[in-house]
């Protein structure tokens, strides 16, 4: 696992956008801050427009690995402004293939636990004005992921990301996402379901597959 470091910390409330001549509400457009208070329900000053896919105690914090940005920028031949995925934390050393469901981290005063991968939606394409963005994110399963908050606290842009406890099942976010989105392997599904700390939403999605 590489050096874990926060590159960007961002929060933002729901705003109105005009996409394809249709007015929509979204909280994907977040603003960089130097520090933010994290509560059980999420960062103070942060919001969600679609509670079906975002927000709630199992999705209080969203992280996207910074290492993926250069690949997306090369693919679309454009510079992406952080946070292009509407994530709260853009960080290094935290890629989906390295981080596992149930892993616990301390960042600043807060302690958080990985709960599920992110379910990509069309907002990613619309916000970044790239029609193929959602399709490519879905194909790669490089979606970022969510945390629940075990201990509230303040996170700062220079806060260290420290691994407190590595989950014994070692089910990576990438394995879970690929199993859910693509291969639907029953053996893989059962392995993911063995992780008690898996978010309820993803647990229900996996149960529907079997």
2 pLDDT above the threshold of 80: no
The whole-angstrom separation of Cα 14 and Cα 46 is 8
pLDDT, position 56: 85
- Which of these CATH numbers, 3.30.70.1140, 3.40.50.620, 3.40.50.1010, 2.40.33.20, describes 5-167? 2.40.33.20
117 pLDDT above the threshold of 90: yes
Q: Convert the pLDDT of each residue in 41-84 to its tens digit.
A: 999 999 765 666 566 899 999 999 999 999 999 999 999 999 99
1 pLDDT above the threshold of 60: no
5 pLDDT above the threshold of 60: yes
155 pLDDT above the threshold of 90: yes
Q: How many helices (DSSP H) and strands (DSSP E) are in the chain?
A: 6, 13
Mean pLDDT of the chain: 92
pLDDT, position 51: 62
pLDDT class for 187, splitting at 50, 70, 90? Answer: very high
pLDDT, position 204: 96
pLDDT, position 52: 63
16 pLDDT above the threshold of 90: no
Average pLDDT of span 199-210: 95
Collapsing DSSP to helix, strand or coil, 113 comes out as strand
- Which residue, chain included where needed, has tokens 């529907």? 208
Neighbour tally for 60: CB within 10 Å:
24
Average pLDDT of span 104-120: 96
- Of 62, 109, 107, the closest CA to residue 86 belongs to 62
Q: What percent of the chain clears pLDDT 90, i.e. is strictly above it?
A: 80
- CA separation (Å) from 27 to 74, 106, 108, 115, 161? 26, 25, 24, 21, 25
193 pLDDT above the threshold of 90: yes
Measured at the CA of 173, the angle between CA 171 and CA 179, to 5 degrees, comes to 80
138 pLDDT above the threshold of 80: yes
The whole-angstrom separation of Cα 54 and Cα 91 is 19
Q: Please state the domain extents for the chain.
A: 5-167
- 158 vs 120, more confident: 158
pLDDT, position 27: 72
């Amino acid at each position: 696992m590489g050096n874990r470091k926060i590159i960007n910390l961002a929060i933002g409330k729901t705003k109105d956008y005009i996409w394809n001549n249709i007015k929509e509400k979204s909280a994907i457009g977040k603003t960089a801050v130097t520090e933010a208070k994290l509560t059980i329900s999420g960062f103070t000053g942060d919001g969600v427009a679609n509670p079906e896919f975002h927000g709630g105690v199992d999705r209080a914090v969203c992280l996207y690995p910074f290492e993926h940005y250069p690949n997306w920028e090369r693919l679309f031949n454009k510079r992406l402004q952080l946070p292009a995925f509407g994530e709260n934390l853009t960080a290094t050393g935290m890629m989906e293939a390295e981080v596992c469901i149930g892993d616990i981290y301390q960042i600043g005063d807060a302690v958080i636990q990985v709960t599920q991968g992110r379910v990509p939606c069309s907002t990613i394409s619309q916000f970044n004005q790239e029609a193929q963005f959602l399709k490519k994110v879905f194909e790669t399963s490089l979606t970022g992921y969510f945390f629940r908050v075990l201990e509230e606290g303040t996170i700062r842009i220079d806060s260290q990301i420290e691994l407190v406890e590595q989950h014994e099942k070692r089910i990576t976010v990438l394995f879970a996402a690929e199993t859910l989105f693509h291969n639907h392997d029953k053996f893989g599904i059962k392995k993911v379901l063995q992780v008690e700390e898996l978010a309820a939403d993803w647990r229900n999605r996996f149960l529907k597959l079997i």
